[in-house]
Structure 1
Amino acid sequence: MNNKYLISIIGPTAIGKTTLSIKLANYFKTEIISADSRQFFKEMSIGTAAPTKPELEAAKHHFIHHRSVTEDYNVGAFEKEALDCIKNLHQTHEIVIMVGGSGLYVDAVTKGLDYFPEVDKSMREQLNNKLETEGLETLQLQLKKLDLASYNTIALDNPQRVIRALEVCIGSGQPYSSFLNKDKNKRPFTTITIGLDAERSIIYDRINRRVNIMVENGLVEEVKSLLPYQKLNSLNTVGYKEIFNFLNKEWSLDFAISEIQKNSRRFAKRQLTWFKRNTETIWFDYQTPIEDIVSKIKTIIK
């Protein structure tokens, strides 16, 4: 039985994960690992709802703004670095907190990455050409036909994710999802997964209000500073791509904001679909008192 613990806090965007993680870190006198793939980048702060300066000062955080959008950083590199960090922290802390809404990155740390068959590189080139000529929706529909499970869980608005799933489906003749959750590496710690949830209408209202606050806090100016890098994959994400369309005079600002809200709501729905697959998650209403969550965690540890 492992006597070291990782408390993983998950849930849809805007549900209050950061606040809970800081409260738990302070209670257990420990540090926080971020598993939010967008908060890694130092140029992206407002649009990713990264922890504020007071929040960063309230508890020690790792993997916040430690990379540049110009760097090639992926889930495999994060898995290795995060496990090394957790190992070091466990030398002086029985418990480490991890928080983030990026399901793939959370699973990489808690379960290990999946391994896929080699696929001819020409397959990706063909799919990229198809993306250019026929658009993302055509690829999405192709994935839906070949692998409905992946279609229902991956980030469909991310062309790279869709292409990756498709190239495995086509290249191997088997669904991308069939290679998931096989032969994972054991972890030298016990993971306790805490999920925050709320009624769908509450989640959507919180998302809409958060987007408005982002705009008030200077989201447009932040995205404007990133215009030279708008083609980078790290910036092909909700909150940035919509404002790029506004800055490129393709959309009005009001429409861009409404699209951010809509796409964020869709993202939250996909997050919950992904996270609900883990039957061991302990779910709490987002307004649950911290004392009740701490009590449950302590019961499990004992």
Structure 2
Amino acid sequence: MSLNNKYLIAIVGPTAIGKTSLSIKLAKHFNTEILSADSRQFFKEMQIGTAAPTHEERSQAKHHFIHNKSIIDDYSVGTFEKEAINTLNTLFKDKNVVIMVGGSGLYVDAVTKGLDYFPDVDKSIRTQLNKDLETLGLESLQLKLKTLDPKSYNTIAIDNPQRVIRALEICIGTKKPYSSFLNKDKNNRNFKTITIGLTADRDIIYNRINKRVDIMIDNGQIEEAKALISKQHLNALNTVGYKELFKYFNNEWNLEFAIEEIKKNSRRFAKRQLTWFKRNKSTFWFDYNTSVTEIIACIKTNMQSH
């Protein structure tokens, strides 16, 4: 089989929907390995709060990009793209199929489609924007983006300060809208991607998220976060499941409220994930309860039709 007949099976969907379980079943069926495209699961210090595959799950199929970095490492989606493509090229020497699983839409797209190219801009612009974020707040930066690039304002994760600053620094540094650089020349991939999406009714997704948070708390999430409190300023820890507990440790919230906020923010995160993944019209969507046999049949049919 030539490299053009190699297949990456990408498993996507909201948090807590069952992607890990499906990916392991598919890896076993195709006798292959799994790449994680979940940007929170890269960090070895964040095991419980990111619902990373357990040791038992990882013993059932070899995983890549799980707990391979530290929260103190400077790790970007661009670096991940290069490392993931190198890993795939190695795996495809022996395997015809590789599984990728992830809840981070940007990281999934980086592997399947390649990243957009942005010109370098003066670093002082970002420094100033970070200062503006601290002194003026996120809303002022959002309004600035709305003026400079309304298209980006309406499409990016507007409540994520890093994304807003990234878009603004390109707008200011190039004097062109950030959105004008999107979807231009992407890197061609020498493998084919079949994307499988898992979903459920909203109430089911939200119930699964609430239960997962309770399980994380029972499994030691509070202790894990407490051990990281001296590093709470790091960007990797400005994430659901950790930032809320830091507010509890800093006596801003009580524990019950912090846990409810983790659940609420996880539900919001799931909603954003679905919005992102639904943009890919070639994804094959299945109810989370669908049998693996049915999903394998869909994959094999699509391999034959390519």
Q: TM-score range by the shorter chain?
A: over 0.9
**Residue segments in structure 1 that go unaligned for 5+ positions in a row:** none
**Cα pair 1:158 1:237 within 8 Å, conserved:** no
Q: CA deviation at 1:171?
A: 2.8
**TM-score for both structures, normalised by structure 2:** 0.94
AA matched with 1:281: T
Distance in 2 between the 1:152 and 1:22 partners? 36
AA matched with 1:275: F
AA matched with 1:264: S
Query: Residues 108-123 of structure 1: matches in 2 within 5 Å?
Result: 108-123=110-125
Q: CA deviation at 1:121?
A: 2.2
* Percent pairwise identity: 70
Cα 1:240–1:262 shift into 2, 3 Å: same
Q: CA deviation at 1:119?
A: 2.4
Counterpart in the other structure of 2:238: 236
AA matched with 1:201: D
1:260 matches 2:282: no
Query: Residues 194-273 of structure 1: matches in 2 within 5 Å?
Result: 194-273=196-275
Q: CA deviation at 1:167?
A: 1.4
Q: CA deviation at 1:131?
A: 0.6
Distance in 1 between the 2:147 and 2:227 partners? 40
Distance in 2 between the 1:219 and 1:246 partners? 13
- Residue aligned with 1:108, SS: helix
- Residue aligned with 2:121, SS: coil
Aligned residues: 302
AA matched with 2:237: L
1:74 matches 2:72: no
Distance in 2 between the 1:144 and 1:85 partners? 39
Q: CA deviation at 1:175?
A: 2.9
**Residue segments in structure 2 that go unaligned for 5+ positions in a row:** none
Counterpart in the other structure of 1:154: 156
**TM-score for both structures, normalised by structure 1:** 0.96
Distance in 2 between the 1:192 and 1:169 partners? 34
1:9 matches 2:19: no
- Residue aligned with 1:15, SS: coil
Cα 1:60–1:281 shift into 2, 3 Å: same
AA matched with 2:31: K
Q: CA deviation at 1:144?
A: 4.0
Counterpart in the other structure of 2:27: 25
AA matched with 1:29: N
Counterpart in the other structure of 1:55: 57
Distance in 2 between the 1:217 and 1:184 partners? 42
AA matched with 2:106: L
